[in-house]
Amino acid sequence: MFKNVFGSGFLVRTAHVILTWVITLILFLHDTELRKQEETGQLLQPVLFVLLVLVSVLLYFAVSLMDPGFILSDDSDLQFMLGVTEEQQDMIPPTTKSLRQRRCGHCLLQQPMRSKHCQTCQHCVRRYDHHCPWIENCVGERNHRWFVLYLAVQLLVLLWGLHIAWTGFSYAPTWQLWLRTNGMLLAVAVLVALLSLIVLLLLGSHLYLVSLNITTWEFMSRHRISYLKHCGADENPFDRGSLHNLWGFFCVWGTVVWEQVYFREGSDQV
């Protein structure tokens, strides 16, 4: 399930963890509301904040080290395409339209629909969304929902941290003295505010695309994707309605044969 921890992303992951806990430590060392509550024995909010930071770090590692849906052999792809068991294969409705698979020009494996070869990971990924340098891993079928959950938790941590930093600024009669007193906390607040904006934009864009049942790769490159380039600008063959799309993304576990959705009965081939 997990890749080698000491792979190419070891330094990125280490830097992320160190930065997270350094910022947390600075928020506790300065005269913020967390430190005041800790000194007065009111430990509920400090403990909750530390636990939330810990959850965000654990989610980061889960998304970063998880197999995003690598395609490793033609046999497993065929099993994925037609169902996990023969009994499930019989449950898939027949279609008169062909379910054509193309062979990857890099790893020479057959690609199910919505998969793409990642040049960084050197593997094809099912329902490929994008390769994220922040987690040093692809975002695909198996870890996409966990990636969105991680962004939501991370945003909550960052906004809470920004509020905590704001409570720690102390008064000084001059700007020079104020910067000397609050310089470290100001740097943390600016960094956290910038990261909050980035995570907010990422989370918003992913939720929007999920509600449409389209991936980042498909949204950005639909004019070059064989199964989408003939569709109209507002046409998405995978869209089943926003609520159904969100429910299927977050609540339905298991594989989806996207060829069956694309060639669903009663629809024309696009």
Using one digit for the tens of pLDDT, what is the confidence trace for 171-221?
888 888 888 888 899 999 999 999 999 999 999 999 999 999 999 999 999
pLDDT at 5 over 80: no
The residue from 118, 124, 132, 138 that is catalytic is 132
Region 228-253 average pLDDT: 88
Domain assignment present for 191: yes
Domain assignment present for 247: yes
Residue-range definition of the domain harbouring residue 13: 1-69+136-263
Contacts of 262 (CB under 8 A, 6+ apart): 113, 227, 237, 238, 270
Domain assignment present for 92: no
Domain assignment present for 100: no
Mean pLDDT highest for which of 123-127, 200-204, 226-230, 256-260? 200-204
| Active-site annotation holds for 132 | yes
pLDDT at 29 over 70: yes
Domain assignment present for 171: yes
Domain assignment present for 166: yes
Domain assignment present for 78: no
Rg (CA), the chain: 23
Domain assignment present for 102: no
| Model confidence, pTM | 0.84
Range list of β-strands (E), the chain: 70-71, 102-103, 110-111, 116-118, 123-125, 130-132, 137-139
How many structural domains are present in the chain? Answer: 1
pLDDT more than 90, % of the chain: 54
Total residue count of the chain as it appears in this document: 270
